[in-house]
Structure 1
Amino acid sequence: MDNRASAKPMPSEPGILAFHRRCEDFYPADAVDASIDQQRKWYDALCAEFDAPSPKGLTREDTLVDGRIPIRHYTPATVSTEARIYYIHGGGFVVGSLDSHDAICAELSDFAHAELVSVDYRLAPEQVWPAAFDDCYAVLKELLSDGCPVVVAGDSAGGNLTAGIILKARAEGLKGIVGQALIYPGLGGDLVSGSYEEMAEAPGLTTADVSYYRDILKAPADNPFAAPLAETDLSGLPPSYITGAFFDPLRDDARLYAARLAAAGVNVTFREEPQMIHAWLRARHMSEGARDGFRRLAEGITVLVGTR
């Protein structure tokens, strides 16, 4: 056996290690072996543990798109652009909601001085692919319908959905998308090489976990809308901010997609957080590396929406 592949890689930053330990108090490493209902209860408790105070003056409003898709609209105390941020949450397509990423969305909206809309798409296994994709795309079309520019952002599974709906928007000629931000996205890598092998037992997310989520979603691996790395032509896509975590099996998905976008002539900013693990956004108030990564992400989104 190759000991390099079997050893558990770990960062050294005390803040992110403390974050990981705290996460496992709420969401155990073997959570995927539990029932879907139990996974969601654990995840909701985890998200509540890392909640944060709302920015002063920011307001929220919950509405529906097409009479069925819940969205949450954030308006910060100061709005400096007509462009809006559209945020798609992560959670392996299995867990997550408007509430799970509420504090993250609020802080991004406030930092960018831009309105933000988040979506509560349908989850697997009750609804397999393309249910979540269709929900996210329907909200994108609604947001573009009034002519205001949109920056689409998402983490993990939300990063997959972000990249996928932007590819579909290009195919259908939708106008008005001025940027995308992909945060440790899963984009359809091969599960057996590169970071999928090197970081197979990384803290927070393992390669086996990624495989589990793919099996539940039942998305076609050769469809670029479901697996954006399968797309051979990335030209004409909007300016992009992509951030990955070094200690993450999804690391090389971010690396490779950023490189392919750049090769296709797309304006790309790429960062890889050297001490971070998957889901480090939640550690932004207890880890120096996560705090810096979140600030850089927020600055990148601010550039995309045009307030910097």
Structure 2
Amino acid sequence: MDYEKLIDAETWGFIRKTGESYGDTAVELSLDEQRDNYDAMCRDFHVAHPPMVQTEELSADGVPLRHYWAGDPSRTVMFFHGGGFVVGGLDSHDDICAEICAQTGYRVISVDYRLAPEHKHPASFDDAWTATQWAAKHYGNSLILLGDSAGGTLAAAVAHHARGKLQGVLGQVLIYPGLGGDMTKGSYIEHAQAPMLTRDECLYYQQFRCDGPLPVGDPSFAPLQDSDFSNLPPTVLITADCDPLRDDSRHYRDHVQAVGGQVHWINEPGLVHGYLRARHSVGRARNSFERISVAVEALGQEIWPFE
């Protein structure tokens, strides 16, 4: 794969800056060192909140949350952060949440779910579901589920689990999510050595989630393992083309389309996993972030502009 041609100069600058902060061999470090490095990298890219955004720390039946709001929001965005289920937290995606709040006018609830390997599956899912139920009770049933990478996995898992249990999930926006696709095929092979995330790194982080064999037929672990894709909320999937996880979204779209659901997949050319942090330095990432905000806002207004 000729990434020198696929990826533009701005994006290469982002990749190099990430490498300077996080390093190309982070998986060789201890988990505590990985977490410290990841948090430091996120701080390097952090930007100030828009001035109108306010925040407070909350707890959803023991699950730590950060609440972002501006004015009197009528919709609630549940945000689940990325980090391979191993790194990240409320601070790693803090400015992203603040900007989603400012651009949409919606309340954003960022969920500090428990991380592996200290907390095995289904701990992260249980926390995501607990927080979503808590938000519906406190703010009303007008929810949009949003997450990047591992957070996209959790958002989709909550959407599947919520059917018949929770009214008012208006939509989900999944940003370069890992949904449990076949790692021996497609983009996992085509982009096995992609900048920012390799296939080996996907396998490395996956091993921490469970004790023993990986679950089978468990959509709370891997949404693509579900046997039923009907009655899901309107779904927007946004992927980086140069990413081993890309085809998970293609397959998810196909499953939802097959049962007549509302689903739209946007694949961003020349972008790489983790590009949300590049939204202020890379034109392609900036444009994609605008598409993400528009999708969140449209789903909150129950508008489907993708047909």
**TM-score normalised by L of structure 2:** 0.94
Structure 2 counterpart of 1:205, from 178, 192, 197:
197
| Distance in 1, Cα, partners of 2:49 & 2:216 | 39
C-alpha contact 1:58 1:75 (8 A) present in aligned 2: yes
C-alpha contact 2:46 2:95 (8 A) present in aligned 1: yes
The structure 1 segments of at least 4 consecutive aligned residues displaced by more than 2 Å after TM superposition are 7-12
Counting only pairs closer than 5 Å after superposition, residues 78-97 of structure 1 correspond to structure 2 as 78-79=71-72, 81-97=73-89
Asked whether 1:30 is paired with 2:22, we answer no
Report how far residue 222 of structure 1 moved.
2.9
Structure 1 counterpart of 2:100, from 108, 115, 131:
108
Report how far residue 14 of structure 1 moved.
1.1
Percent sequence identity is 41
Aligned to 1:149: 142
Report how far residue 264 of structure 1 moved.
1.9
C-alpha contact 2:141 2:167 (8 A) present in aligned 1: no
Structure 2 counterpart of 1:217, from 196, 209, 212:
209
C-alpha contact 2:147 2:175 (8 A) present in aligned 1: yes
| Distance in 1, Cα, partners of 2:99 & 2:20 | 25
| Distance in 1, Cα, partners of 2:63 & 2:165 | 23
C-alpha contact 1:62 1:72 (8 A) present in aligned 2: yes
| Distance in 2, Cα, partners of 1:153 & 1:177 | 11
The letter of the residue matching 1:153 is L
Matched length: 298
Structure 1 counterpart of 2:284, from 268, 275, 289:
289
Aligned to 1:51: 46
Report how far residue 307 of structure 1 moved.
8.7
CA RMSD, 1 decimal? 1.4
Deviation per CA, 1:45-81: give whole Å up to 9, x if none. 1000000111121100001111x211000012x44x5
Describe the shift of the 1:15–1:221 C-alpha distance in structure 2 as closer, same or farther (beyond 3 A). Answer: farther
Report how far residue 252 of structure 1 moved.
0.2
Structure 1 counterpart of 2:152, from 159, 164, 172:
159
| Distance in 2, Cα, partners of 1:20 & 1:221 | 35
Between the two structures, name the one with larger relative contact order (CA 8 Å, sep ≥ 6): 1
Deviation per CA, 1:184-216: give whole Å up to 9, x if none. 000001111100000000000000011011111
Asked whether 1:72 is paired with 2:66, we answer yes
| Distance in 2, Cα, partners of 1:222 & 1:9 | 35
| Distance in 2, Cα, partners of 1:148 & 1:188 | 28
For structure 2, the residue ranges without an aligned partner over 5 or more in a row are: none
The letter of the residue matching 1:125 is P
For the residue of structure 2 that corresponds to 1:118, the secondary structure is strand
| Distance in 2, Cα, partners of 1:242 & 1:198 | 20
Deviates more, 1:139-148 or 1:88-97: 139-148
For structure 1, the residue ranges without an aligned partner over 5 or more in a row are: 1-6
For the residue of structure 2 that corresponds to 1:168, the secondary structure is helix
Report how far residue 224 of structure 1 moved.
1.5
The letter of the residue matching 1:225 is S
| Distance in 2, Cα, partners of 1:65 & 1:173 | 18
